[in-house]
Structure 1
Amino acid sequence: MSTLTVGIAGPLTTIQDLGRPGFAALGVSGSGALDRGALTLGNRLVGNAERAAALEITVGPFSAVADRDVWIAVTGAWGRVAVGGHPIDPNHPTFVAAGTSIDIGPAASGLRYYLAVSGGIDVDPVLGSRSTDLLSGIGPTSVQGGDVLPIGQPHTAAIPALDVAPWSAPDAGAVTVPIRVGPRADWFTAASLERLFSGTWTLSSASNRVGARLDGTPLERSVTADAHGELPSEGMVAGALQVPPSGLPTVLLADHPTTGGYPVIAVVASGALDLFAQLRPGQHLTFRHARP
């Protein structure tokens, strides 16, 4: 079996594919890559199936060596990436000879890199997925320096004839996120609903793969909602904006719990969830109504 030996793993590196949907009734969240677009792009660039497992590298640095010739692509965050000491471009299929070092520096833009390797990271699947779920502990453990990871057999098809994918660096300024109001918007005052869209929110440093915590002016519950007390636990989905008693929303992400008792004021449009993978603590965001 071919392998990838990790030298430096950085603050957090996990194995991720497109997740394990369909098990919420068992208390298992979908998990998977936070930036699904970056994962699937990387896999296409190196000739893998889109849902092949890759490495999700938070911030960096990271280094590794494969024991066979491989093709790699680094997508998502932007920073210095080198093969054998020579810089390479992001979003670009690159040939790496066996024994040659792959080095990824700290991200200059965005937060999470995706390292796709031809053949994919071939750890054993759990419930149909190779993803690490940090909340439940399902799937492989976080990657550490010295780990030796199995690499699958590459497809026989040629690497796609694409010089570079037309993607830019993740936005370092304020971003606008489309959301749909509800299902518990009636638990909040009209002023709070207006503030949700008119205010500027800041990503908290307490954010992680479970949820993106937001700082700003707290949202207030309505008098009617306070009279009802707390909600019984109900099902949660990725993108739900839960509002705890502090009034500061948390956007649930891939490793979210499948149930929760805090009211959900709105839900992020599915296509916009990838934005939260690349937001950095302190970065600003605003919300707008999603198109029907």
Structure 2
Amino acid sequence: MRMRVLRTGPMTVLKDAGRPGHAYQGVAPSGAVDRGAYARANALVGNPPGTAVLECTLGGLRVSFDEPAVLALTGTDAVLTVDGTPAGAEEVVQVAAGATVAVTMPRRGLRSYLAVRGGIDVPPVLGSRSTDQLAGVGPARPAPGDVLPIGDLPLVESGTPAVPDRQGPLEVDLGPRDDWFTASAIGTFLSAEYAILPASNAVGLRLDGPALTRSRTEELPSEGVVRGAVQVPPDGRPIIFQADHPVTGGYPVIAVLTPSSADRAAQLRPGARIRFTRAPG
């Protein structure tokens, strides 16, 4: 089976579970930005974990298939339509050959995940089919007219993960460099409101809000960072690293989001207002 890309919208890339194990080569794991939504999409259509899907930012995607296909869309309240007929939220959809499949612009959320039974079977790069937008590693971004092969993976019967509650503050574990900040700064970080700035993407979310004062002024040698790390540059305003983050960072990391909160952060639009709180335990 083949998928033909008719339109990509503002941003559509291929994503899977990522390419861990290559940091020593300067290559970050990348992978889906909202990992929970990505996993649900694959589970709905019966794909094994780690199968490649399309990650679509702010809708606008339009594709067709040369054979009947089974699809699911997760991540936002965007609607999946087949020849103009809308499907239900996170519903498994049977699509006839030649039908036009479209993803509308979501009212809430940012990134939608379109999974096809069998998976998108482009050649992997360093063991992954994820497009890393920072490093330029992985498959090229799909473009109108591209034809993507669909695999023939065996159907996996598994439970579909529940849609998480996306309300409330983002949960964090403090550290590893929270001792580089004053007690007042830690208090501010865990109580103040921050806004997502327009200069945000799959690499990181830039925040506007109270500056966080450091207790130490020396330079920090570059050290490894992970998805969800909250790094604080010299202006004192935090940056939340997302899936396509760099391998290392040279500014202190005050805290790291829990995995579920990192997924929630993946769906935040510019202008959204957030707070942080310590994770239970």
Normalised to the residue count of structure 1, the TM-score between the two structures is 0.91
Q: Assess if the C-alpha contact under 8 Å between 1:91 and 1:165 holds in 2.
A: no
Counting only pairs closer than 5 Å after superposition, residues 1-292 of structure 1 correspond to structure 2 as 2-156=1-155, 167=163, 171=166, 175-222=168-215, 225-226=216-217, 228=218, 230-292=219-281
TM-superposed deviation, 1:165: 7.8
The 3 A distance-change label for structure 1 pair 181 and 167 is closer
TM-superposed deviation, 1:81: 2.1
SS at match of 1:288: strand
Once residues 192 and 162 of structure 2 are traced to their aligned partners in structure 1, the CA distance between those partners, rounded to angstroms, is 32
Once residues 233 and 166 of structure 1 are traced to their aligned partners in structure 2, the CA distance between those partners, rounded to angstroms, is 38
Q: Assess if the C-alpha contact under 8 Å between 1:29 and 1:257 holds in 2.
A: yes
Say which is worse superposed, 139-148 or 70-79, in terms of deviation. 139-148
What is the identity, as a one-letter code, of the residue corresponding to 1:80? Answer: V
Which 5+ residue runs of structure 2 have no aligned equivalent? none
What is the identity, as a one-letter code, of the residue corresponding to 1:244? Answer: P
Which 5+ residue runs of structure 1 have no aligned equivalent? none
Q: Assess if the C-alpha contact under 8 Å between 2:79 and 2:104 holds in 1.
A: yes
The 3 A distance-change label for structure 1 pair 51 and 185 is same
What is the identity, as a one-letter code, of the residue corresponding to 2:175? Answer: G
TM-superposed deviation, 1:213: 1.0
TM-superposed deviation, 1:248: 0.6
Q: Assess if the C-alpha contact under 8 Å between 2:47 and 2:155 holds in 1.
A: no
What is the identity, as a one-letter code, of the residue corresponding to 1:167? Answer: V
Cα deviation code 1:51-96 (max 9, x no counterpart): 1000000001110001111100000011232112111012111100
Once residues 163 and 250 of structure 2 are traced to their aligned partners in structure 1, the CA distance between those partners, rounded to angstroms, is 39
Identity of aligned residues (%): 46
TM-superposed deviation, 1:261: 0.7
Once residues 85 and 105 of structure 1 are traced to their aligned partners in structure 2, the CA distance between those partners, rounded to angstroms, is 10
RMSD: 1.8
Once residues 121 and 253 of structure 1 are traced to their aligned partners in structure 2, the CA distance between those partners, rounded to angstroms, is 23
Once residues 154 and 237 of structure 1 are traced to their aligned partners in structure 2, the CA distance between those partners, rounded to angstroms, is 31
Cα deviation code 1:258-280 (max 9, x no counterpart): 11111111111123210111111
The 3 A distance-change label for structure 1 pair 17 and 28 is same
TM-superposed deviation, 1:166: 5.6
What is the identity, as a one-letter code, of the residue corresponding to 2:251? Answer: Y
Q: Assess if the C-alpha contact under 8 Å between 1:47 and 1:154 holds in 2.
A: no
Q: Give the total of aligned pairs.
A: 281
Normalised to the residue count of structure 2, the TM-score between the two structures is 0.95
